[in-house]
Amino acid sequence: MREPFKVLQLGFGAIGRTIAKGILERENLELVGLVDIDPVLQNQQVEKLLSLSSESSTIIRSNLQETLNELHNQQVDVALVLTSSSLEIVAPTIFSCLHAGLDVVSLCEELSYPFVRHPQLTQDLNQLAVEVAKTVLGTGINPGYLMDLLPIVLTAPCQRVDRIHITRYMNSSNRRASFQEKIGTGMTQDDFRDGVAKKIITGHVGLVESIHMIEIALELNLDYVEELLPEPIIASEETITSFTTVRKGEILGLKSKAIGSQNGKELIKLDFVAFAGASPEYDEIEIRGYPYIRQRFEGGVHGDLGTVAMVLNMIPLVVEAQPGLLTMNDIPCPRNTQRVWKRSR
């Protein structure tokens, strides 16, 4: 009999809802619990909230430790941590899941390559993961794939790599409201500048992590990595989005840039551009070397859909992976895993 991977999900926000739906719709995954601190969600049924007709009934709880205790005898395989971009915020949750004997997959952007930004915390997480023989992985569409793992893979047919330039150019008009708000959509120019100064507007989280992942994979030995402050993209005419109406002179979105260099020579450049009405949308990876490679995804890869897929597809791979805190560069051949079932122990 085929046995599904048993999943505990932590976080039921906009992306979390889509991930929960994806788990319930995949035969090789089983949602055994869901934790979210929102009091409005307490004791509600996940399947009902998602308008799904399902034989299962997953009740949302607020206390992680109580939920872990309740699930102790169910042999849960993996916890999905979908709560914050900050590793310092999610670390206590990850520690709790490791102590309970669960592998961990997280959308925390800082966890995608945490060794530079959080060296001591990274060491502590890795040490515990090894001790309990479990795996921790930070993933997502970006960071986790488009601006780091995929460029690494695309260098394979190159005899020589001189420079890598990655661009993500996306129309934010129909993205979820929280994303449009994060990039400043509808703000005045003064409010945007104030938001950047107060680090409320941060641009895309994870550019530095992506550069370091590429650097380590290719052994580039960068001596300088910098993420520049986000720059606003200003509306020249009224623009309507699913989130708000942006008037002329207000903020449509932003552009962020990060660079990695060695001896004053730029080796890696990442451009992240997201604003309402951006056209044409695309994701592009340019590798200057021998041979020259330019890979362009016309229309771009849908961020939310891609993020959900990355989380679901990594579950079987993480359960089978070596213990420790890993990056996407350490996971064997990331791929679609909807037909991969749990191996008998």
Tens digit of pLDDT for each residue in 49-61? 999 987 778 999 9
| Model pLDDT for residues 167-208, shown as the tens digit of each residue | 999 999 888 888 898 899 999 999 999 999 988 887 788 999
Q: What is the structure's pLDDT at 200? A: 85
User: Which has the closest alpha carbon to 19: 99, 85, 81, 75?
Assistant: 81
For the beta carbon of residue 66, count every other beta carbon within 10 angstroms: 11
Q: What is the structure's pLDDT at 345? A: 61
- And the tokens for 223? 């001596």
CB 258 within 8 A of CB 227: yes
**How many whole angstroms separate alpha carbon 339 and alpha carbon 128?**
31
Q: What is the structure's pLDDT at 203? A: 76
- And the tokens for 106? 């997280």
| Model pLDDT for residues 213-253, shown as the tens digit of each residue | 999 999 999 999 999 999 999 999 999 998 899 999 999 99
CB 239 within 8 A of CB 277: yes
Q: What is the structure's pLDDT at 54? A: 78
Q: What is the structure's pLDDT at 254? A: 97
Domains of the chain: 5-140+304-326 (3.40.50.720), 149-300 (3.30.360)
Strands 60-61, 29-35: pairing is: parallel
Q: Computed over its alpha carbons, how large is the radius of gyration of the chain?
A: 21
Give Cβ neighbours of residue 103 (< 8 Å, ≥ 6 apart).
77, 78, 79, 134, 135, 136, 318, 319, 321
Query: What CA–CA distances, in Å, run from 275 to 6, 14, 54, 128?
Result: 38, 20, 38, 41
Instruction: For the chain, 345 residues long, give each residue's pLDDT as a single digit of tens.
Output: 799 999 999 999 999 999 999 999 999 999 999 999 999 999 999 999 999 987 778 999 999 999 999 998 889 999 999 999 999 999 999 999 999 999 999 999 999 999 999 999 999 999 999 999 999 999 999 999 999 999 999 999 999 999 999 999 999 988 888 889 889 999 999 999 999 998 888 778 899 999 999 999 999 999 999 999 999 999 999 999 988 999 999 999 999 999 999 999 999 999 999 999 999 999 999 999 999 999 999 999 998 999 999 999 999 999 999 999 999 999 999 999 999 999 876
Which residues share a beta bridge with 267? none
User: Which has the closest alpha carbon to 26: 339, 335, 315, 317?
Assistant: 339
Q: What is the structure's pLDDT at 265? A: 96
Q: Is 339 left (phi over 0), alpha (psi -120 to 50) or beta?
A: alpha
